[in-house]
Amino acid sequence: MAKIKPGKNATKKDVITQKAASLFKKKGFSSSSMRELAEAVGVEAPSLYNHIGSKSELLQAICFKVANAFTSYLDETENTAGNIVVKLENIIRFHIQMMLNNFDEVYVANHEWKHLREPYLSNFLIQRRGYEKRLIVLMEDGIRVKEFKDNNPYVSVLTILSAVRGLEFWQQHKKNISSQVLEDDMVDHLLKGIIK
Amino acid sequence: MAKIKPGKNATKKDVITQKAASLFKKKGFSSSSMRELAEAVGVEAPSLYNHIGSKSELLQAICFKVANAFTSYLDETENTAGNIVVKLENIIRFHIQMMLNNFDEVYVANHEWKHLREPYLSNFLIQRRGYEKRLIVLMEDGIRVKEFKDNNPYVSVLTILSAVRGLEFWQQHKKNISSQVLEDDMVDHLLKGIIK
DNA sequence: TGTAAAAACTAATATGTGTTAGTTTTGTTG
DNA sequence: CAACAAAACTAACACATATTAGTTTTTACA
């Protein structure tokens, strides 16, 4: 009987959660069965319950890990002195890097949060709304000090967040474009546009 | 027994498909049951099968209706004489209007295509990839004639498509921002950036 | 109004679901 | 090596699923 082999610094629960993220990304939360997850882990389905509480708990772990990562980075950035354009640029770069380095989890958090149960669903949405609000305030500050044009700040934030989210479609093209070009060109596009 | 009441110019199948789009958007394809759909339609579940072939067929209808709408508009636009910037701007505006006027269906096509069955899944992906390719060619043309900066064209197309897709998050804010401001500011952002 | 087609219904099937109970195997530590 | 805890296993439950079969009701038209 193959036992779950956690790597360094990873509990068995972590291994299961990571495999769950990969599976949920591929098939969606509802279409993923615990039997499939068990197979990916190398174990029978009921054995998973020695390590986790429920299928739903896996989704919670994934979604809040991602949400907390973004919130933490924003905390840091806000407490930094300096130019607002640079702050925004750093946030955009952080989003891009999260998409590239933690693809499965970010994808699941973006697509499958809908299947969270209460009260986690509400908490997740509140946290995300709060995050957006803080970005909007940042935009408003930038407009006030004339670093940004006075476009509607909500539209700007929505455009930026959506654009970086779209990197989920970029996976197939990794070979043709370096991630540095991707990051730099997207930042440039979102800040300065594409018209010559 | 309540019968399905199709409006003018809509078969019963159309009514079911529209209700399906709404349900699939709200709960996801896999989490939506035919019993729920039947309830939304006002009928028992097996009765649906007098009008449709299968649950999967509903998803196919939704996804390809959306895909074909975008493809058709691109066909028209390509055959238009004129400035490439204007062509791109019109395409962006069309995407935005599709998101605003056909929200359920576009949302489902964007989020639930993964659950299409073969060969529809492959066909859908081929069609989408083809659409992207044509936009990239448009960008390349624009760069060649110096209308656009020479950013990586794939990154630009990805950024634009992703940004407009993100309008799915805009639903709650309809009251605060008019759709004209939204459309104009997003187009401005994607073409000219936000830096003053 | 009588009749055929359309579309609803009820009943049932076969399968898949997350999860629990109870048991056996494995790993670790004295 | 004995013994205890961790974690695997098999069996099973209770329920939900899409769909089919067969029947009854409704609708439309001559």
Cross-chain Cβ contact B189/A147 below 8 Å: no
pLDDT of A141 above 60: yes
Cβ-Cβ contacts under 8 Å for A7 (sequence gap 6 or more): A15
Cross-chain Cβ contact B155/A31 below 8 Å: no
Give pLDDT tens digits for A14-52: 999 999 999 999 999 999 999 999 999 999 999 999 999
Cross-chain Cβ contact B155/A114 below 8 Å: no
Give pLDDT tens digits for B102-113: 999 999 999 999
Q: Which of B155, B156, B181, B192 to mutate to test the interface with A (most CBs of A within 10 A)?
A: B155
The three state secondary structure string of chain B is CCCCCCCCCCCHHHHHHHHHHHHHHHHCCCCCCHHHHHHHHCCCHHHHHHCCCCHHHHHHHHHHHHHHHHHHHHHHHHCCCCCHHHHHHHHHHHHHHHHHHCHHHHHHHHHHHHHCCCCHHHHHHHHHHHHHHHHHHHHHHHHHCCCECCCCHHHHHHHHHHHHHHHHHCHHHCCCCCHHHHHHHHHHHHHHCCEC
Q: Percent of chain B beyond pLDDT 70?
A: 93
Protein-contacted positions of strand D (CB under 7 Å): 6-12, 16-22, 25-27
Residue from the list B159, B160, B196 with its beta carbon closest to the beta carbon of A149: B196
d(CA A156, CA A152): 6
**Rg from Cα positions in chain B:** 19
Instruction: Look at residues B161, B139, B137 and name the one whose alpha carbon lies nearest to residue B149.
Output: B139
How far B184 CA sits from the closest chain A CA (Å)?
9
pTM of model > 0.85: yes
Give the position of tokens 């803080």. Answer: A134
Averaged pLDDT of chain A: 91
d(CA B48, CA B177): 39
Output b/e per residue, B145-171; b: 16+ Cβ within 10 A: eebbbebbbbbbbbbbbbbbbbbbebe
Cβ-Cβ contacts under 8 Å for B128 (sequence gap 6 or more): B67
Residues 177-196 of B with CB under 8 A from A: 177, 181-182, 185-186, 188-196
Give pLDDT tens digits for B24-72: 999 999 999 999 999 999 999 999 999 999 999 999 999 999 999 999 9
How far A46 CA sits from the closest chain B CA (Å)?
23
Averaged pLDDT of chain B: 91
Under the banding of pLDDT at 50, 70 and 90, the label for residue A129 is very high
pLDDT for res A41: 96
pLDDT of B175 above 70: no
Q: Percent of chain A beyond pLDDT 90?
A: 79
pLDDT of A10 above 90: no
Q: Which residues of B touch A151 (CB under 8 A)?
A: 185, 188-189, 194
d(CA B158, CA B168): 17
pLDDT for res B172: 65
Least confident of A40-44, A103-107, B75-79, B166-170: B166-170
Cross-chain Cβ contact B31/A30 below 8 Å: yes
d(CA B26, CA A84): 37
Tokens representing residue A175 in the block: 């070979």
Tokens representing residue B120 in the block: 């529809």
Under the banding of pLDDT at 50, 70 and 90, the label for residue A4 is very low
d(CA A86, CA A150): 18
Nucleic acid strand D within 7 Å of B46 CB = yes
Cα separation of the two ends of chain A = 63
State mean pLDDT over B142-168: 93
Cross-chain Cβ contact A185/B156 below 8 Å: yes
pLDDT of A97 above 90: yes
Q: If you measure CA to CA, which chain A residue comes closest to B31?
A: A30
State mean pLDDT over B118-130: 96
Q: Which of B30, B85, B107, B162 to mutate to test the interface with A (most CBs of A within 10 A)?
A: B162
Protein-contacted positions of strand C (CB under 7 Å): 6-12, 16-22, 25-27
Q: Percent of chain A beyond pLDDT 70?
A: 93
pLDDT of A7 above 80: no
d(CA B112, CA B30): 9
Residues 33-72 of A with CB under 8 A from B: none
Cross-chain Cβ contact A193/B189 below 8 Å: yes
pLDDT for res A3: 41
pLDDT of B173 above 80: no
State mean pLDDT over B106-130: 97
Tokens representing residue A128 in the block: 């995300």
pLDDT for res B6: 54
Residue from the list A27, A156, A177 with its beta carbon closest to the beta carbon of B189: A156
pLDDT for res A9: 64
Tokens representing residue A165 in the block: 């989210």
Q: Which residues of A touch B86 (CB under 8 A)?
A: none
pLDDT of B5 above 60: no
Secondary structure letter of residue A195 according to DSSP: B
Separation between the CA of B150 and the C1’ of D26 (whole angstroms):
66
pLDDT of A172 above 80: no
Nucleic acid strand D within 7 Å of B50 CB = no
Under the banding of pLDDT at 50, 70 and 90, the label for residue B9 is low
Is the CB of residue A175 less than 8 Å away from at least one CB of chain B?
Answer: no
pLDDT of B4 above 50: no
Is the CB of residue A144 less than 8 Å away from at least one CB of chain B?
Answer: no
Secondary structure letter of residue A54 according to DSSP: -
Least confident of A42-51, B78-87, B170-179: B170-179
Nucleic acid strand D within 7 Å of B3 CB = yes
Under the banding of pLDDT at 50, 70 and 90, the label for residue B162 is very high
List Cα–Cα distances, B8 to A18, B5, B22, B34, B186, in angstroms.
51, 10, 20, 25, 35
**Rg from Cα positions in chain A:** 19
